[in-house]
Structure 1
């Protein structure tokens, strides 16, 4: 299924809080050394209300999503899907205490010929994260590639 009918389809919606503990975990896991991510006093001294989340913090939402359901909904064969790319656009830094809601939509769905023969399906998803006031704070774009069936 890649006739463009899925463009605009809401894949899922999720809500989560940016928690201090998770900020610390991401900072440690990514070897982040800037104290604005680990020391609230340093964050305040830098002009922020609280600890800042690391740049990839929104990937935490993947732990709450039903990944199998969205793959099935898109008609993809999970065993042939690879992530082509992920991009984040931050409209403002995320801080401990932010409550976010996210809506993920299909913005592209096409079939392409592969360089080595066969075809592949390329699905582009965009997630917009908004804060408690409804203001957009992060946009995430994911490109998924479903490889063609092996002969």
Structure 2
């Protein structure tokens, strides 16, 4: 059983700069055809500061922490028993290429179902921008651990 004393523990904190080239690659990989996501001029004509960051791209940046497996390692979970449970995004403002974002991830909850056959680890990540630590987004993800 996963020790619930880990609830509230800080898992990682890192800062990344959003790169325009990576945004273009992400747009291509996800089949985005809207020019605002690949062309700076089109983005500016649409009223954006630069290329906008697509919603799910923040999870890509979250995984750039020094150790993306920190929660799994801290909780001593066998990665072969993990399933992806869910993801949620709460956005507070748009972000753009060139911004520096800080990601702070913690364990928000640990619970079980089916008599402990399934354990759930909820991670929350707070994303802030460089200007006065302004809140950009709250990310939530759940992993499921199969026991038995």
Q: TM-score, normalised by structure 1?
A: 0.89
- Supply the distance in 1 between the matched residues of 2:14 and 2:68 (Cα, whole angstroms): 12
Q: Deviations over 1:72-125 (max 9, x none)?
A: 1022221101110111122111200110010001111012116xxx61110100
SS at match of 1:24: helix
Alignment length (residue pairs): 146
- Supply the distance in 2 between the matched residues of 1:68 and 1:41 (Cα, whole angstroms): 38
Q: Does structure 2 retain, via aligned residues, the 8 Å contact 1:3–1:110?
A: no
Q: TM-score, normalised by structure 2?
A: 0.90
Which one is further off, 1-10 or 23-32? Answer: 1-10
Corresponding residue number in structure 2 for 1:97: 98
Instruction: Give 1:2-151 correspondences, 5 Å limit.
Output: 2-61=2-61, 62-113=63-114, 119-133=117-131, 134-149=133-148
Q: Does structure 2 retain, via aligned residues, the 8 Å contact 1:120–1:146?
A: yes
Unmatched segments (≥5 aa) in structure 1: none
- Supply the distance in 2 between the matched residues of 1:101 and 1:63 (Cα, whole angstroms): 11
SS at match of 2:5: coil
Q: Deviations over 1:43-89 (max 9, x none)?
A: 11111111112221113231444133331102222110111011112
- RMSD (Å) for aligned C-alpha atoms: 1.6
Q: Does structure 2 retain, via aligned residues, the 8 Å contact 1:128–1:138?
A: yes
Q: Which runs of 4+ in 1 moved over 4 A?
A: none
